[in-house]
A = this chain, B = another copy of it.
Amino acid sequence: MSNKTALVISAHSADFVWRCGGAIALHAEKGYDVTVVCLSYGERGESAKLWKEEGATLEKVKTARRKEAEGAAKALDVHNIEFFDLGDYPLEMDREAKFRLVDVIRKVQPAFMLSHSFDDPYNTDHPYATKMALECRMVAQAWGHNPGEKVLGAPQLYLFEPHQTEQCGWKPDTILDITPVWEKKKAAIECMEGQQHLWKYYTNVAENRANQFRRNSGGQAGGREAKYAEAFQSVFPRTVDEL
């Protein structure tokens, strides 16, 4: 029997590391095949340090970004990483690009998907990626799209943490204990040499989300001693057999 699967849709090639690297590594340990789609390399907008280097060109920056992302993917035990190379700032997807993403979704048949917050006034590529994730999830469910292919069920879409959560209207409803895989996430973060100013930031985030994990799992009367956590907002209601 085949493994369970998950799919991450990342606007730029580093987003999946900061925002859900722990979720990726944790589910890989649980036997999931996790696929990451990087819609762009973030080569124009999220590579300031690389552009400050002598002789930087678009191709060099993209190559460097790809190398960093591949290193991080390896550290996180990503099953497959795909680079769509659609360009960034702004990211734009035409019908062909959308259907390419639909193809991946159908191929992976994810148990759940991960993407960005619904809003982000600092970075319009992020909510655009989520808009595409929802639209392509819908197309993947359509019996009339490439008839004969296996259509998609109804996977949850989790929105991972944006940089300034409150400015993005993002409200997490799920906190995941990533303590067992923290060293992997740390290693992945440290692949992102072009964005060292974010290493400490996202370590702090992980520690503070763990504090919230403890508080919400029992607090001082039995809360689990999580040390690192990630938080997510669900788009769809859960269907359950027990509350």
Check A242 for interface membership: any CB of B closer than 8 A: yes
Do A170 and B166 contact each other (CB < 8 Å), given the known contacts A134-B121, A216-B239?
A: yes
Evaluate contact between A175 and B238: CB separation under 8 angstroms: yes
Evaluate contact between B236 and A167: CB separation under 8 angstroms: yes
Evaluate contact between A174 and B144: CB separation under 8 angstroms: no
Residues of B within 8 A of A212 (CB): 163-164, 237
Which one of A67-75, A135-143, A182-190 is at the B interface?
Answer: A135-143
Out of B88, B197, B222, B236, which one reaches A153, CB within 8 Å? Answer: B222
Evaluate contact between B243 and A90: CB separation under 8 angstroms: no
Number of copies: 6
8 Å CB contacts to B: which residues of A161-179?
163-167, 170-177
Check A47 for interface membership: any CB of B closer than 8 A: yes
Evaluate contact between B143 and A48: CB separation under 8 angstroms: yes
A91-102 CB contact bits vs B (8 Å, 1 = yes)?
Answer: 010010010000
Cα of A52 to Cα of B147 in the assembled complex, Å: 9
A191-213 CB contact bits vs B (8 Å, 1 = yes)?
Answer: 00000010011001101100111
Evaluate contact between A138 and B45: CB separation under 8 angstroms: yes
Check A5 for interface membership: any CB of B closer than 8 A: no
Given A90-B98, A152-B221; 7 other pairs, CB 8 A cutoff: A89-B144, A122-B138, A166-B171, A167-B236, A172-B237, A197-B211, A226-B239
